[in-house]
Amino acid sequence: MRNSLTKVKRVVVKVGTSSLVLKNGKLNLRSIDQLAFVLTSLTNQGYEVTLVSSGAIGAGLQKLGLTSRPSTIAKQQAIAAIGQSELVKTYSQRFENYNQEIAQVLMTRDIVDFPESRKNVINTLNELLKMKLVPIVNENDSVAVDELDHQTKFGDNDQLSAIVAKLIDADLLIMLSDIDGFYSGNPQTDPTATLFSTITEITPELTEAAGGEGSRFGTGGMASKLKAAQRIFDYNGQMVLANGADPSIIFDIIDGREVGTLFSNH
């Protein structure tokens, strides 16, 4: 089944805050530089690559010298606005080292929900890929809120990456996280938890293994990634969940090696 990964052309890579920000709150420049190298290398080989990147608030906290995330929405949005420019500046510097042009695309949920704006963002992403640029997509955290019937948030970047993959009909979503893949239980607390190599459908048993939406392990973690995987299944795509500590793992995934967990029913 992993052989199918060697035939992909259009790839979305999602990288989480844990891969971009060190425990001390500073940007992980080594990881960002390695990510730029890997994605540029893939682009040079003829792949069409889109990056969905978290890290705006983390970058904003570093820029302002803050050690903790503020509690008010307004302050979080302000810090995200500061951090997004800092994050893209860092990406631009690192990609420039490898002569690769990038473009920033900020999205909110209503863009996807309205047909005209949905068509526009699809056209934009497709045109950028045709120009051999790497679009860097993030949620527009400075304006995105969940408010009554005006829902503008995607929920998290796991969902955003799956939605972007569907919008551009990507062959593969590579989701880089701080865990090696999807386990039968929480490997941090369950020594008997085993890693799934391949998952072909999202079952109630898998949802339970993820800890459920309300659990500490599931919220924003495995439950979110299962939800993203279901979105991928819905349009007959493929997804690999793997550890993003070393972004060069992307090469192994594209080569069809047994790393992470493959979500595929091909």
The angle that helices 29-44 and 73-96 make with each other, rounded to 10 degrees, is 60
Q: Residue 190, annotated ligand binder?
A: no
Q: Residue 222, annotated ligand binder?
A: yes
Q: Residue 220, annotated ligand binder?
A: yes
Q: Residue 177, annotated ligand binder?
A: yes
Q: Which two tokens stand for residue 165?
A: 């993959």
How many angstroms separate the CA atoms of 103 and 64, rounded? 25
Q: Residue 225, annotated ligand binder?
A: yes
Would you say 159 and 226 are in contact if contact means Cβ atoms under 8 Å apart? Answer: no
Q: Which two tokens stand for residue 214?
A: 């309300």
Question: Where does residue 194 rank: exposed (0-12), middle (13-18), buried (19+ CB within 10 A)?
Answer: exposed
Q: Residue 234, annotated ligand binder?
A: no
Q: How would you classify residue 258: left for phi > 0, otherwise alpha for psi between -120 and 50, otherwise beta?
A: beta
How many angstroms separate the CA atoms of 103 and 115, rounded? 23
**115: β partners:** none
The SS3 call for residue 89 is helix
Q: Residue 219, annotated ligand binder?
A: yes
∠23-29-33 over CA atoms, to 5°? 140
Q: Which two tokens stand for residue 12?
A: 């979305």
How many angstroms separate the CA atoms of 76 and 68, rounded? 11
Q: Residue 221, annotated ligand binder?
A: yes
The SS3 call for residue 5 is helix
Q: Residue 178, annotated ligand binder?
A: yes
Residues sharing a CB contact under 8 Å with residue 193, sequence separation 6 or more, in sequence order: 183, 184, 185, 186, 187
**Residue set of the binding site for substrate:** 54, 141, 157
**Residue set of the binding site for ATP:** 14, 177-178, 219-225
**Residue set of the binding site:** 14, 54, 141, 157, 177-178, 219-225
